C-alpha cells in the first residue's frame, strides 16, 4: 500500500468530481480523448459555480486549458476546483485534473488545468447578481 509522502504534490481546491476513464472515451492513440477531459472539467466547474451563484450558472468562457500528461484507460480521474475571482455576476474557477492508476502505482499525477468563467443566470437565462 502506498503511504502519502508529505513532499508529494497535492491538488489545490475542493474535490468536485471523480470518475473512471473508460475505453469508450479514447482517441485514436488509445489515450483518453481531450474533449472528454474538458467535459469533466466543465462539469466540475459547474458544480462549484452553483454553490457560489446560489442557483443556476452557465459557462461563458474557457480562458485556457493545458494538458500536461495523457490519461490512461482505467485511471481514476479527479477534478478539483478553486474559486479564483468573483464579479457582480461572474465566477472564475480554476480546475485541476489529477489521475491515479495502477500504471502510476496509484500515485496521483496532475494531468490538466484550466480556467473556466461562469455567469449566474435567472430562470430566463439572463445574467443575475450573485447571491450574497
Backbone angles phi, psi at 124, to 5 degrees: -95, 0
Q: What is the CATH number of domain 14-120?
A: 3.10.129.10
On the question of pLDDT at 1 being above 70, the answer is no
Q: Please compute the mean of the pLDDT values over residues 10-25 and round it to a whole number.
A: 95
Which grid coordinates belong to 3?
503511504
> Rounded to an integer, what distance in angstroms lies between the CA atom of residue 111 and that of residue 98?
5
| Chain segment 41-83, per-residue pLDDT in tens | 999 999 999 999 999 999 999 999 999 999 999 999 999 999 9
> Rounded to an integer, what distance in angstroms lies between the CA atom of residue 118 and that of residue 92?
7
Q: Which residues contact 60 (CB under 8 A, 6 or more apart)?
A: 90, 117, 118, 119
Q: Report pLDDT for 59.
A: 99
Q: Report pLDDT for 112.
A: 98
Q: Report pLDDT for 107.
A: 86
Q: Report pLDDT for 38.
A: 99
On the question of pLDDT at 23 being above 70, the answer is yes
Q: Please compute the mean of the pLDDT values over residues 20-33 and round it to a whole number.
A: 96
On the question of pLDDT at 2 being above 90, the answer is no
Mapping DSSP to helix (H, G, I), strand (E, B) and coil, where does residue 77 land? strand
Domain ranges in the chain are: 14-120
Q: Report pLDDT for 45.
A: 99
Q: Is 10 or 23 the better-scoring residue by pLDDT?
A: 23
| Chain segment 73-120, per-residue pLDDT in tens | 999 999 999 999 999 999 999 999 999 987 667 789 999 999 999 999
Amino acid at each position: 500500500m502506498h503511504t502519502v509522502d508529505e513532499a508529494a504534490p497535492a491538488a489545490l481546491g475542493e474535490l468536485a468530481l471523480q470518475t473512471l476513464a473508460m475505453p469508450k472515451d479514447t482517441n485514436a492513440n488509445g489515450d483518453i480523448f481531450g474533449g472528454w477531459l474538458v467535459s469533466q472539467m466543465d462539469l466540475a466547474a459547474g458544480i462549484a459555480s452553483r454553490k457560489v451563484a446560489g442557483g443556476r450558472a452557465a459557462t461563458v468562457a474557457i480562458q485556457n486549458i493545458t494538458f500536461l500528461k495523457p490519461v490512461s484507460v482505467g485511471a481514476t480521474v479527479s477534478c478539483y476546483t478553486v474559486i479564483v475571482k468573483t464579479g457582480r455576476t461572474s465566477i472564475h474557477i480554476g480546475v485541476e485534473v489529477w489521475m491515479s492508476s495502477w500504471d502510476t502505482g496509484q500515485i496521483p499525477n496532475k494531468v490538466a488545468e484550466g480556467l473556466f468563467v461562469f455567469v449566474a443566470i435567472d430562470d430566463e437565462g439572463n445574467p443575475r447578481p450573485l447571491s450574497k
